A and B are shown apart, each in its own frame.
Chain A
Amino acid sequence: AQKVTQAQTEISVVEKEDVTLDCVYETRDTTYYLFWYKQPPSGELVFLIRRNSFDEQNEISGRYSWNFQKSTSSFNFTITASQVVDSAVYFCALLGSYNTDKLIFGTGTRLQVFP
């Protein structure tokens, strides 16, 4: 079975603080893909990053960075110097490689950034 766990339901920070959103996944597939999406209050899911299981290199994109560790089945997301516009619900998702094309989402982490 495949599963994604985002244990942090809600996180509140003050602007300019760094914040890390945790994601732990379960899968029996040897090849799989991990994603992060952002859902602002408007409701649309915005794609942030995709990572395949063979690529454990961490990635940085501006204030965003992602730490993928297969040994702990985690794919954590860090926002550096958070801004009010970062306030949203963030979802981690898993897609297995075998005979399926559906994303398995976690329950999301609501991030509130206060000025």
Chain B
Amino acid sequence: DTGVSQDPRHKITKRGQNVTFRCDPISEHNRLYWYRQTLGQGPEFLTYFQNEAQLEKSRLLSDRFSAERPKGSFSTLEIQRTEQGDSAMYLCASSQSTGATDTQYFGPGTRLTVL
């Protein structure tokens, strides 16, 4: 059973550039989540999808951030006009909605460094 995959694993960019990350969930999972983790902190929720619908967005997700899941499979997270404060690990997770609370399984993350 293939786990959650993320690409790229590392990204270094200059301030002001746009970056895009991709997440491929576990194949039968219909829910997909994005979290951000800064050094020494726990992950913080950004947004989540059920199939292709984006159901919740955190206030952390500024106008420069946009996430999509066009066909209900993989998802992309784009950050426009990156700032140094965007440097963090971006984690993707997926789960299978069964009507009860599901367990979220995480990918390896994309570490973003903004110079």
How far in angstroms is the closest Cβ of chain A from B93?
8
Q: Which of B13-21, B64-72, B73-81, B100-108 is near enough to bind chain A?
A: B100-108
Answer whether residue B85 sits at the interface, using C-beta atoms and an 8 A cutoff.
Answer: no
Answer whether residue A65 sits at the interface, using C-beta atoms and an 8 A cutoff.
Answer: no
**Interface size of A as a range:** 20 to 34
Answer whether residue B31 sits at the interface, using C-beta atoms and an 8 A cutoff.
Answer: yes
Interface residues on chain B, number (Cβ under 8 Å)? 25
Chain B interface (Cβ < 8 Å from any Cβ of A): 31, 33, 35, 40-45, 48, 55-56, 58, 89, 91, 93, 101, 103-109, 111
Residues of A66-115 contacting chain B, CB below 8 A: 91, 93, 95, 97, 100-108
| The one of B33, B41, B101 that contacts A107, using a Cβ cutoff of 8 Å | B41
Q: List 12 A-B contacts (CB under 8 A).
A: A43-B108, A43-B109, A43-B111, A45-B43, A47-B103, A47-B106, A95-B101, A101-B31, A105-B42, A105-B43, A107-B42, A108-B40
Complex: chain B residue closest to A101, CB-CB = B48
- Cross-chain contact B108 with A102 (CB below 8 angstroms): no
Answer whether residue A61 sits at the interface, using C-beta atoms and an 8 A cutoff.
Answer: no
A45-B91, A101-B48, A106-B42 as given contacts; A33 in contact with B108, CB under 8 Å = no
- Cross-chain contact A102 with B91 (CB below 8 angstroms): no
- Cross-chain contact A102 with B105 (CB below 8 angstroms): no
A44-B108, A44-B109, A50-B103 as given contacts; A100 in contact with B42, CB under 8 Å = no
